[in-house]
Amino acid sequence: MRLWFALESRVAPTSAERRAARMFVTPPKHKRSSKASLRLIHSNEPAATHITLHEPGVRVSATSIGDGPTVMLLHGWGGSALDMMPAAGALARAGYRSVVFDMPGHGRSPGRESSLVEFLRAMRAVSRTLGAPDFIVGHSFGGAAAVLGITELGLPVRGAVLFSPAPGPAYYVDRFARTVGLPRERTVGMMRLVVERVGRSVESLDALVAARSARVPALIFHDPADREVPFSFAQQMSATWAGSRLVERPSLGHKRILRDAATIAAAVDFTRSVLPPGAR
């Protein structure tokens, strides 16, 4: 790939920028099949109800588990609702209604491209159809979406839990270009095309900036040695988010943190302290 971009950038720079822009907004596909995913969700949580939401420009596969105050759980880039099932199941057993869904271009939801803008559209559609959430949980890119859901969409949540939150797409432009081998002089053109595809600048989707105006309590979990999302981002977010608390979870990496029993128990306890299961 790096060799291809090096050659294409010389002989057909516009084509290289277009190809890179398409790749930037295309998440890696989840390996588990949709049927297997659905079986796993229903086998683990008998009370789960699966629905497909259809709105203009948005089609989302969602699952509701349990009954009680609604908790919206958001997976990260290249992930799926399955990633959030350990936390969703624990919250449902604790007396909450967990709502998990595959973002556009992810898991069982249709489409190939996605973006934080698509994440926000999906969150708005799910809120309209299944009811506004009382609490929000996000992982990685879903953590950024959770912050923007609070500050930009105005979701009426009373608190948030973030696992390894990513700051937003702007922080990954240079990293992406280096990974695929796109020359620096082609990056500006790539991002111009990304903005055309997405409809917004990546700078306007900065969760670190948005966190400054968040006014609900939040608990942030992050492994200081996380290789995918640097711990410094969680430190910056917690420093600017009034009412937030950062908890280090060493040796759990970027995704294993979602399956750690102690971390999930702490997340459930925090949810209880902010929003008791019987509250509406």
Q: What is the CATH number of the domain that holds 117?
A: 3.40.50.1820
**Spans in the chain with pLDDT lower than 70:** 30-46, 280
The domain total for the chain is 2
Q: What is the per-residue pLDDT across 172-227, written as a single tens digit (0 to 9) for each? A: 999 999 999 999 899 999 999 999 999 999 999 999 999 999 999 999 999 999 99
Choose one of 187, 205, 223: the last residue of a domain.
205
Phi first, then psi, for residue 168 (nearest 5°) are 140, 170
DSSP, collapsed to helix, strand or coil, labels residue 63 as strand
Do 88 and 159 belong to one domain?
yes
Q: How many CB atoms lie within 10 A of CB 139?
A: 29
279 falls within a domain: no
The pLDDT assigned to 35 comes to 52
Do 58 and 133 belong to one domain?
yes
On whether the CB atoms of residues 6 and 181 are closer than 8 A, the answer is yes
Task: Give, in degrees to the nearest 5, the angle at Cα 43 between 77 and 64.
Answer: 55
Sheet strand arrangement including 160-163? 49-55, 58-65, 97-102, 70-74, 135-139, 160-163, 218-222, 244-248
The pLDDT > 90 percentage for the chain reads 82
Do 63 and 193 belong to one domain?
no
Do 5 and 136 belong to one domain?
no
The pLDDT assigned to 63 comes to 94
DSSP, collapsed to helix, strand or coil, labels residue 5 as helix
Do 44 and 91 belong to one domain?
yes
Structural domain containing residue 270: 36-168+207-274
Do 115 and 185 belong to one domain?
no
Predicted model pTM: 0.93
Do 92 and 213 belong to one domain?
yes
